[in-house]
Amino acid sequence: MRRRSLTELASNPDLISGIYNYCDRWCERCPLTSRCLVYATEQVDHHNSQESHDVRNEAFWRRLTSVLVDTQEMINEWAKEAGIDLCHVPEEEPRSRKRRRQLVDNHPLTRAGKKYANAASDWFREFDQTIEISDLRATDADREQLEQFEDAREVIQWYQYQIAVKTMRALSCRTDGWEDEPELADFPKDSDGSAKVALIGIDRSIAAWRLVQLSLPDRIDSTVPLILQLERLRKRVENSFPEARDFVRPGFDEVIGAPN
């Protein structure tokens, strides 16, 4: 196949402008690769059908979303048992803009994101040291559970560090100050876009941990604290960026084909 130039690729009318600005960069699992210029430039010689790849991925994320909905009620019960008040969201102290810029790295949200990432790493390290995967391959049912576990692990590990990174980006955008310029008042905020990507990573990670529980029921107790950690982080990010959930990411949050 002849290698196409960037101009040729970019002239495709199906592409969605800027779709790659607020995605999670997980192209392998992206349901909109056929609308993305970044993907096109990286896959010019790839012969597989992008459309069937997108349909498969859309179904994957739909399933994970339904798991998240089911898990929400359980989270409240686990929090109650653990004596955690999920509604208590500590107020952040007002600080000067300059000071806040200096403190992004040590911001409570950044620290909470990193703490979760480390806790997830510890969990998988302990898991890998104590389980023989070959023992799980005995029956068809076991194989299905193993596949589910591997899918969940892939999701968790994809977002494990990205949650903190995107949260830090959201905090940085805000502390930079340019979002507060009066002439930008009507524009969506980059900080909200980044916070939304972090929140989606949190949602998907919670659902994926629930899939881990369903695959490995004897590990439920060790995974509940991770889910609660994520749930608290979710509430804190939502509290700090109340408009984030409403941010419309090009492509992902639009009804594609609808007039603007």
Which residues lie near ligand SF4 (CB under 6 A)? Answer: 19-20, 23, 25-27, 30, 32-33, 36, 38-39
In whole angstroms, give the CA distance from residue 10 to residue 8: 5
Which of 78, 159 has the CB closer to ligand SF4?
Answer: 159
Which of 62, 125 has the CB closer to ligand SF4?
Answer: 62
As a residue count, the chain comes to: 260
Please report how close the Cβ of residue 20 comes to ligand SF4 at its closest, in angstroms. Answer: 4
Cβ atoms 206, 227 nearer than 8 A: yes
Residue showing tokens 């299905």: 144
Which of 23, 228 has the CB closer to ligand SF4?
Answer: 23
Which of 35, 232 has the CB closer to ligand SF4?
Answer: 35
Please report how close the Cβ of residue 248 comes to ligand SF4 at its closest, in angstroms. Answer: 14
Helices 220-240 + 190-215 axis angle, to 10: 170
With helix as H, strand as E and coil as C, how does 105-160 read? HHCHHHHHHHHHHHHHHHHHHHHHHHCCHHHHHCCHHHHHHHHHHHHHHHHHHHHC
Cβ atoms 32, 54 nearer than 8 A: yes
Please report how close the Cβ of residue 33 comes to ligand SF4 at its closest, in angstroms. Answer: 4
Which of 94, 257 has the CB closer to ligand SF4?
Answer: 257
Please report how close the Cβ of residue 83 comes to ligand SF4 at its closest, in angstroms. Answer: 39
Please report how close the Cβ of residue 36 comes to ligand SF4 at its closest, in angstroms. Answer: 3
Which of 30, 199 has the CB closer to ligand SF4?
Answer: 30
Cβ atoms 208, 149 nearer than 8 A: no
Please report how close the Cβ of residue 27 comes to ligand SF4 at its closest, in angstroms. Answer: 3
Comparing CA positions, the residue from 2, 259, 3, 228 lying closest to residue 119 is 228
